[in-house]
Amino acid sequence: MYFDELDLEDEVLDGLEAMNFYETTPVQEATIPLLLEGRDMIGCAQTGTGKTAAYLLPIINRLSRGEGDPEKVNAVIMAPTRELAIQIEQQVEGFSYFLPISSVAIYGGTDGITWEQQRRGLAQGADIIIATPGRLLSLINLQHADLSGVSYFVLDEADRMLDMGFQEDILLINKEIPSSSQRVMFSATMPPKIKKFARTILHDPAEVELAISRPPESIIQSAYVCYEAQKLRILTHLFEETPPTRTIIFSSSKMKVKELAVAMSRLSIRVEQMHSDLAQEKREEVMRQFKAGNVDLLVATDVVARGIDIDNIRMVINYDIPHDPEDYVHRIGRTARGGNDEGLAITFVSEKEQPGFGRIEDFLGRVIYKIPVDPAFGPTPDYRPEARVRSDRPRGKSTSAHRPRGKGEGQGQGGRRPQRSRGAHSKSPQPK
């Protein structure tokens, strides 16, 4: 389906054309008509499927028709991280380029000047605010946020927000929003806790569950089964043979990220680190440098696993396995997108991590290829994920390192949509 086959205003379509958006993704085709009707909705869609546009376009379209209150905040979009909030605001600016619609991103970890800008944006009635739960609740408690005019309330990455402990904050924010507002939830996964939570907020919602959380077949997945103490030596050897470019290493702890970044810098690799201890200004600068190609290797916690629009990632390395299979999918999903036909994902699996990696393989419904470890690194454990392992035997030397689209999210629309006629829908063949 093409965007101009939807009931969207011309100014909205102009913004889409300016961004080279012509054809909808499956999640957009399934959800936008429902949202334009004003239905509450819960949608299951993983990162990279175009869900941001799926909920933004109906909001922008209805605001373009003058349905909002120009003196008040009309839409609230909740996001789990400041990075995702900033990314969503950038898409709002693109989609509403030809419309007088204002937006502001509200998130913590900022200086007094940014705080004042956020407060002023709320006070002046920005049409759309994109906020992390903690910062918005702080502004509400300080009586800096009047949400009485909100008509659209969106929870993006709802599963992640609940995992981060934001459930009570969201419920408190929800009480500040008129009950008549349209409410929308998007989640990459749909466990029972998400469905239960949805029932407390949404009214008779439509349910759209298109995305199956599986990585694309174009991602080549492999793993090293080794002892924890062997990981850094294998990684170092790997990069000595093939220096990394456009590569992300994921680790579950900030301490590991810091130690790995230091270890990689000793190999003369252009490396930066990304974790929650960094100031917001530094994090934004790191992302700019990585996207610009001035950094070859990014070592990060899961703060960048979801919601960050980084194109042309060649390889993702899981230095340790993530907490659950869904996080594995989101980590390796950073590659094989944005023009890359193929991507490479490598996971290091220690003896203790074997049961968890076995659960990942069960979730994916496939056995991931195990790369043979060079005998020079010493003996390695047998892969027995079904066994309950109590300890990780140290082997060899110990290491301090112990225990990722201006075109828009997940569009991938090739070709150019033939020029549309005002008031009529073109029926030209779909672009390849």
Report the predicted TM-score, pTM, of the whole model to 2 decimal places: 0.63
Confidence (pLDDT) at 317: 96
Confidence (pLDDT) at 115: 80
Range in 58-62, 157-161, 325-329 with the lowest mean pLDDT: 325-329
Burial pattern 112-124, b for ≥16 Cβ within 10 A else e, equals eebbeebbebbee
Tokens of 370: 């195990």
Q: Which of 99, 95, 65 is nearest to 77 (CA)?
A: 95
Helix H segments across 127-218?
133-141, 158-163, 167-175, 192-201
Beta strands per DSSP E along 228-375: 247-250, 271-274, 297-300, 315-318, 343-349, 369-370
Q: What is the pLDDT of residues 9-35, one digit of tens each?
A: 999 999 898 888 888 888 899 999 999
Give the separation between CA 75 and CA 130, rounded to whole angstroms.
8
Mean pLDDT, to the nearest integer, of 242-249? 93
Give the separation between CA 149 and CA 429, rounded to whole angstroms.
42
Number of neighbouring beta carbons within 10 Å of residue 385: 17
205: CB partners within 8 A, 6+ apart: 39, 40, 41, 42, 183, 185, 198
Confidence (pLDDT) at 309: 61
Query: Can you list the domains of the chain with their CATH numbers?
Result: 3-209 (3.40.50.300), 219-377 (3.40.50.300)
At 288, is the pLDDT very low, low, confident or very high (cuts 50, 70, 90)? confident
Mean pLDDT, to the nearest integer, of 276-284? 77
Confidence (pLDDT) at 38: 93
- What separation, in Å, do the N-terminal and C-terminal C-alpha atoms of the chain show? 13
At 409, is the pLDDT very low, low, confident or very high (cuts 50, 70, 90)? very low
Range in 153-162, 182-191, 330-339 with the lowest mean pLDDT: 330-339
Q: What is the pLDDT of residues 105-127, one digit of tens each?
A: 998 876 677 788 888 878 877 89
Range in 40-44, 97-101, 306-310, 398-402 with the lowest mean pLDDT: 398-402
Confidence (pLDDT) at 315: 94
Confidence (pLDDT) at 259: 94
Confidence (pLDDT) at 126: 87
At 51, is the pLDDT very low, low, confident or very high (cuts 50, 70, 90)? confident
Burial pattern 264-274, b for ≥16 Cβ within 10 A else e, equals beeeebbbbbb
Mean pLDDT, to the nearest integer, of 162-176? 92
Say what the alpha-carbon torsion angle 177, 182, 186, 192 is, to the nearest 10 degrees: 80
Asked whether residue 402 carries a pLDDT value surpassing 80, the answer given is no
**Three-class SS state of 389:** coil
Concatenated DSSP letters of 303-321:
GGTSS-----B-EEEESS-
378 phi-psi bin (left φ>0, alpha ψ -120 to 50, beta other): left
Confidence (pLDDT) at 221: 96
Please answer whether residues 283 and 351 qualify as being in contact, where contact means their C-beta atoms are separated by less than 8 angstroms.
no
Q: Which of 351, 342, 348, 312 is nearest to 328 (CA)?
A: 348
Q: What is the pLDDT of residues 249-279, one digit of tens each?
A: 999 888 999 999 999 999 999 999 988 787 7
Does 145 or 76 have the greater pLDDT score?
76
At 215, is the pLDDT very low, low, confident or very high (cuts 50, 70, 90)? confident
